[in-house]
Amino acid sequence: NAGVTQTPKFQVLKTGQSMTLQCAQDMNHNSMYWYRQDPGMGLRLIYYSASEGTTDKGEVPNGYNVSRLNKREFSLRLESAAPSQTSVYFCASNKQGMGNQPQHFGDGTRLSIL
């Protein structure tokens, strides 16, 4: 029972490089999310997708793009990485329409931009 799987777990990039963070869930959830976690800032929503084919901006979308490839997969892309994007990134999913159901989180990706 894998739940939410994120890859990679760690990554170091140079400023200006691009990369894609991958996320997949096997719980047949409709809604998927990308958050970033910074010290003292909690979890801030970058983008979310309520269903396959739809994506919406969250609180801090600038510098990121997302793709909801299918129901299982939701990727986050940094086109031109900046040091301000150094953070821990979490992917999450939950059942749509079931408000009392918690989000299920991946283990996070620690991303450092030099």
Partner 1 sequence: AQTVTQSQPEMSVQEAETVTLSCTYDTSESDYYLFWYKQPPSRQMILVIRQEAYKQQNATENRFSVNFQKAAKSFSLKISDSQLGDAAMYFCAYRSVPLNRDDKIIFGKGTRLHILP
Chain contacts with partner 1 (rule: CB under 8 A): 31, 33, 35, 40-45, 48, 50-51, 54, 56, 58, 88, 90, 92, 94, 96-100, 102-103, 105, 107-108
Q: CA distances (Å), 3 to each of 48, 71, 89, 104, 114, in order? A: 18, 14, 17, 7, 31
Shortest spacing between CB 59 and partner 1, in angstroms = 9
Say if residues 5 and 24 touch (Cβ distance below 8 Å).
yes
d(CA 26, CA 41): 29
Shortest spacing between CB 66 and partner 1, in angstroms = 14
Instruction: Give residue 71's region: left, alpha or beta (phi > 0; psi -120 to 50).
Output: alpha
Shortest spacing between CB 14 and partner 1, in angstroms = 24
Quick one: 14 or 28, whose CB is closer to partner 1?
28
Shortest spacing between CB 108 and partner 1, in angstroms = 5
Say if residues 110 and 88 touch (Cβ distance below 8 Å).
yes
Quick one: 14 or 62, whose CB is closer to partner 1?
62
Quick one: 17 or 72, whose CB is closer to partner 1?
72
